[in-house]
Amino acid sequence: MGQNICVLYSQHIPPQGAIHPMSGADLKQTLQQGGRIFGTMISINRNPRWIPILDGVGLDYVIIDTEHSPRSRGELGDYLTMFNTISVVPIVRIPIPDSHYVTMAIDAGAQGILAPYCETVDQVREVVKAAKFRPLKGAAAEEALESGTFPSDASQEYLANRNRDNICIIGIESQAAVDNLDAILAVPYVDAIFVGPNDMSISLGVPDDYAQEIYKTTVKGIIDKCEARGLPTLVHHQTPELSEYWIEQGARFVLHGTDRRALAEGFRTEFTRLRGKAASV
């Protein structure tokens, strides 16, 4: 008598009328046309089963954090596989600006990377080559970035098609990076600039004090320099008030909050209301 085998699996099937899954290329096109896109940071959730609930809630993209959050390579791959079934584009914040982490994230299914705390042109060039020319490496990738010369027209077309969805975001998070910003922005193929408020404010001597003029002036200067080159900026704040302020200042690649904050604030708001109601009856 044969053995009975039971296979259980979960597959997200978009409901009828659901938005067709977006791509990194779609996001880049919106930004290049002067539009805005909206997303959040995934910092604590690690199980991919919850991801489908994010479909249709107003997110264009998410940034999955691997700089400060513990995620194995396998966990990241499962996460990215699920995100690529819904209408939210997955981008990965890699641990450090290193080509190995860039290709690891993209090979796992990321449609872009955020390289944190870049301060030098060499760091940016390494990230860009991995994000835009993979699997080309070494001297050939350097020549492609430096002069636009590829091994052949066929190779150039192949690489453009293979990497067309990849969004390359560079983190500017210190005074040293600001001082070097013009040179960093001169590196081709960068798609956007990220400002990390916590790191930036500490570097400016005003930790987490986002009302300080030095912080506001510095970040506004970054946005203006980027917009002059047609590049959008992400300024990652946690409150709607701060995110709205930076939208007003020109941040078009809107990155607001985290899954951790959304979960905590959602429970806090609703149960505060319920406790208040219970106390009044």
* Predicted structure pTM score: 0.90
Burial of 143 (0-12, 13-18, 19+ CB in 10 A): middle
Helices (H), 84-212: 99-107, 121-133, 138-147, 153-162, 175-179, 181-185, 197-203
- Is the pLDDT at 1 greater than 80? The verdict is no
| Predicted pLDDT at 137 | 95
| Predicted pLDDT at 234 | 98
pLDDT digits (tens, 9 = 90+) for 70-115: 999 999 999 999 999 999 999 999 999 999 999 999 999 999 999 9
In this prediction, residues 182-201 reach a mean pLDDT of 98
pLDDT digits (tens, 9 = 90+) for 216-272: 999 999 999 999 999 999 999 999 999 999 999 999 999 999 999 999 999 999 999
C-alpha torsion sign, points 117, 39, 227, 128: positive
pLDDT digits (tens, 9 = 90+) for 197-224: 999 999 999 999 999 999 999 999 999 9
E-only strand ranges, 19-60: 37-42
State the Cα–Cα distance between residues 237 and 19, nearest whole angstrom: 27
| Predicted pLDDT at 22 | 81
193 CA to centre of own chain: 10
State the Cα–Cα distance between residues 104 and 125, nearest whole angstrom: 17
| Predicted pLDDT at 215 | 99
- Is the pLDDT at 11 greater than 50? The verdict is no
- Is the pLDDT at 12 greater than 70? The verdict is no
| Predicted pLDDT at 20 | 52
Burial of 233 (0-12, 13-18, 19+ CB in 10 A): buried
pLDDT digits (tens, 9 = 90+) for 28-52: 999 999 999 999 999 999 899 999 9
| Predicted pLDDT at 6 | 38
C-beta separation of 23 from 89 below 8 A: yes
pLDDT digits (tens, 9 = 90+) for 135-157: 999 999 999 999 999 999 999 99
| Predicted pLDDT at 9 | 32
| Predicted pLDDT at 262 | 95
State the Cα–Cα distance between residues 48 and 82, nearest whole angstrom: 6
Phi, psi of 234 (to 5 degrees): -105, 130
The domains found in the chain, sorted by start residue, are 24-275 (3.20.20.60)
State the Cα–Cα distance between residues 78 and 71, nearest whole angstrom: 11
Percent of the chain residues topping a pLDDT of 90: 91
Burial of 27 (0-12, 13-18, 19+ CB in 10 A): buried
| Predicted pLDDT at 7 | 35
Among 222, 171, 182, CA closest to 68? 171
C-beta separation of 234 from 18 below 8 A: no
Phi, psi of 255 (to 5 degrees): -120, 110
